[in-house]
Chains A and B, each alone.
Chain A
């Protein structure tokens, strides 16, 4: 079962992803409300997620910086970057994100990307 770490500062967005991904059979490994918490949880966990869903605009540390920090630990980590800020796509990909989804997106688009990445890993 594909495991996921959800990173977003909005509780309702975290709950939304959790509701939908659990229904589709994904295992939610953890959640984080800012980039720093995500990096800390990632580093402290022995069970690494197959996929990270990463927001950008978050307090303490943004998504691009968090992605860079995670990539330094594990360069093959799969990160799907999701943001309402379309101008951040290049920076997100440069940081190591393999996919980018501008908000609002269709859930089927997220699932399709998740499945593609799960097959690859």
Chain B
């Protein structure tokens, strides 16, 4: 490379590096997670150490989800909803709700799932479950309580399915209160802190041809409803 020449890296090379680095980080996360599980399996472990190990597990799990989000975000650019598999979001959302507590082993998490529809076919591939799980993780991270309750619902919205999650104790961050999530991109990253998961969910919903909304519920400061909309399968 000539002196003073700008460094140009092709998107393909960047994607390859992101993918490879992501893969290696997941391998390391696997080792951290498993050795922590090994420590926790000792029946003589004192409660304080046990608590620390559980918190560490929670952070490894969250780091895993964030890493996967980055990898998927890179792939989202190339997503074509027309070529995606149809998925039933009722079992996918139920499974995501069931798994939610695994990501926060140091806290009491309850996720109540309900759906009037027995089956809700949408365009979304395996990403549909990831989206719901991400949405629910966001609802928990917006709540600092030890005990967290989240309600997950699927509703028919005409051409699309709405999957909403509500946490009555969660705090709606000031940037979200303004309404339009897309304006967050104009803000300094220091003020958009704690919103990475929400930005990811919105970006992926858009890539799938659906939508994402965050709004307050209940009192002025407390109560958040996040809603994902996914296009129904078979509708042009």
Question: For the complex, would chain B's binding face be called helix, strand, loop or mixed by DSSP majority?
Answer: helix
CB pair B26 A103 closer than 8 Å: yes
Known A12-B31, A104-B33; further 20 A-B contacts with Cβ < 8 A: A10-B27, A13-B27, A16-B30, A16-B31, A16-B35, A19-B38, A20-B34, A20-B38, A23-B38, A84-B22, A84-B26, A84-B27, A85-B23, A103-B27, A103-B29, A103-B30, A104-B26, A104-B29, A106-B33, A107-B38
Scan A57-93; emit 1 where CB is below 8 A from any B CB, else 0. 1000000000000000000000000001110000000
A-B pairs, top 6 by smallest CB distance, nearest first, are A84-B26, A104-B30, A104-B29, A103-B30, A84-B23, A104-B33
- Determine whether the beta carbon of A108 is less than 8 Å from that of B30: no
A-B contact count (CB 8 A): 40
- Closest B residue to A108 by CB, please name it: B37
- In the bound complex, what is the Cα–Cα distance between A107 and B29 (angstroms)? 13
Interchain CA distance A84-B22 in the complex, whole Å: 8
Who on chain A is nearest to B126 by CB? Answer: A86
Contact with A along B34-71 (1 / 0, CB 8 A): 11011000000000000000000000100010000000
**Chain B residue, CB-CB nearest to A105:** B30
Interface residues of A (CB under 8 A from B): 10, 12-13, 16, 19-20, 23, 57, 84-86, 103-108
Interface residues on B, range: 10 to 19
B contact residues around A86 at 8 Å (CB) = 126
Contacts of A107 in B (CB 8 A): 34, 37-38
Determine the distance from Cα of A57 to Cα of B22 in the docked complex, in whole angstroms. 13
The distance in angstroms between the C-alpha atoms of A25 and B55, with both chains bound, is: 28
Q: Give the Cβ gap from A20 to chain B, nearest Cβ, in Å.
A: 6
**B residues less than 8 Å from A20 (CB atoms):** 34, 38
A104 near B23 with CB under 8 A, answer no
Q: List 6 A-B contacts (CB under 8 A).
A: A10-B27, A12-B27, A13-B31, A103-B29, A104-B29, A107-B37
User: Contacts A84-B22, A84-B23 hold; do A106 and B31 have CB atoms under 8 A apart?
Assistant: no
